[in-house]
Amino acid sequence: MPNIALLGSTGSIGTQAIEVIQGLPDYTIVSLAAGSNEALLREQIEKLNPQYAALQRPDAAARVRQQVAIPVSHGMEGLVQLATDPQVDLVINAVVGAAGLAPTLAALRAGKRVALANKETLVAGGHLVMAYRDQLIPIDSEHSALWQCLRGHTMDEVASLVLTASGGPFRKYQGELHTVTRAQALRHPNWEMGGKITIDSATLMNKGLEVIEAHWLFGASYDQIEVVVHPQSIVHSLVKMKDGSYLAHLGAADMRLPIQYAITYPHCRPATSIPLDLTTAGPLEFEAPDEQRFPCLPLAYAAGRAGGSVPAVLNAANEVAVEYFLNDRLGFMEIPVIVESVLEGHAPIDSPDLDTILAVDAQARQQARQEAEQRARL
């Protein structure tokens, strides 16, 4: 009976992970951690009967503690405590943002397997996490696809990794990207996801973060990682082999599939999702991404190539800019402007340790907030 700690249980990936685990009777959820959604966490505790829980803020944790019969801790300490609990075999990290890095690292250091949705972990601290690569299983659909295509192969046989991108809601948009609204940007054509990643998909920053994620997960150089827009989101990614042929992973656009694969890895089990029907899937299109209209993608490649502390800065500045956009205080095209400006002001640090990354992250957020405030709508 593998025991699971689920971090980020109230989010899009977290709630789908619960659905998946409920269909896997030999797995048990022993702990749940959330950010601020007290009501949903309480509901999940009542339904799933875990032994521990955590929330971000101490006051919220204290309130929930009075309503449930289990210990409820708080903050980063709470996340790390759940991630390193001796009885836990598998940690699912579905927290959004750089807050996911410390618990991932703590879990890996404690010898846990980590099913990782939190791509910001690898963007900000990939070099720290990679010492434990064998314990890490990706949840991101593109990386899960690559992971599955690469089984039985080594990177010596690979010419490039090809990440597919839906292109987001503005792929064919004829109007001015400067004036698009939050509601328009949140209307993703193929996937239902949390707010931050949905905006990242619209700016193509999500694909940029995934390029950095792939670099660390598969030990590929940035020249070996390509992005191709595939609006149908049926081919989840491809591996181009040295002989020029491609290995592709196809499936329904349903995150429960890569979540389940990460939980049951190395085994593939029956799933409850509706399987892809190739006869009705329609044509599959592929096109090059438009880096002029979506400058976040080249910004992320450049940050990845620069390495050291630079990707952590990219990520932190982006998180702040997206938060301002989601609060209707910044324009869509101001997101890359803020990220670029914060990157320009940063003096790169080689091989930063966790404390340095957290300090760089905090500084980049502060600078991004200052810039965002100067530009912000009231």
Q: Determine, following the binding rule CB under 6 A, whether residue 35 of this chain makes contact with ligand NAP.
A: yes
Residues within window 67-86 making contact with ligand NAP, judged by CB under 6 A: 79
Total residues binding ligand NAP (CB under 6 A) = 31
Q: Determine, following the binding rule CB under 6 A, whether residue 169 of this chain makes contact with ligand NAP.
A: no
Q: Determine, following the binding rule CB under 6 A, whether residue 37 of this chain makes contact with ligand NAP.
A: yes
Compare residues 176 and 235 and give the one whose CB is closer to ligand NAP.
235
Classify residue 313 by burial, with Cβ atoms within 10 Å: 0-12, 13-18, 19+: buried
In the set 82, 161, 197, 217, which binds ligand NAP (CB under 6 A)? 197
Q: Is the peptide bond before 266 cis (omega within 30 degrees of 0)?
A: yes
State both tokens at 177: 């990207």
In the set 42, 112, 119, 207, which binds ligand NAP (CB under 6 A)? 119
Under 8 Å between Cβ of 110 and 83: yes
Least spacing, CB of residue 14 vs ligand NAP, in Å? 5
Q: Determine, following the binding rule CB under 6 A, whether residue 189 of this chain makes contact with ligand NAP.
A: no
Q: Determine, following the binding rule CB under 6 A, whether residue 273 of this chain makes contact with ligand NAP.
A: no
In the set 255, 262, 330, 368, which binds ligand NAP (CB under 6 A)? 255
State both tokens at 226: 């390509």
What DSSP designation does 115 have? E
In the set 71, 194, 298, 307, which binds ligand NAP (CB under 6 A)? 194
State both tokens at 250: 């196809």
Q: Determine, following the binding rule CB under 6 A, whether residue 251 of this chain makes contact with ligand NAP.
A: no
Stretch that binds ligand NAP, among 155-163, 188-196, 306-314, 340-348 (CB under 6 A): 188-196
Residues sharing a CB contact under 8 Å with residue 229, sequence separation 6 or more, in sequence order: 164, 165, 166, 167, 171, 286, 287, 288, 289
Compare residues 341 and 360 and give the one whose CB is closer to ligand NAP.
360
Q: Determine, following the binding rule CB under 6 A, whether residue 168 of this chain makes contact with ligand NAP.
A: no
Whose CB is nearest to ligand NAP?
A: 11
Q: Which residues is 164 bridged to in the sheet?
A: 228
Q: Smallest Cα–Cα separation from 137: which of 211, 252, 217, 210?
A: 217
Quote the strand ranges of the chain, DSSP E.
Answer: 3-7, 28-33, 52-55, 72-74, 90-93, 113-116, 136-138, 158-165, 225-229, 235-241, 246-250
Enumerate binding residues for ligand NAP (CB under 6 A).
Answer: 8-14, 33-37, 56, 79, 94-97, 99, 117-120, 140, 191, 193-197, 255
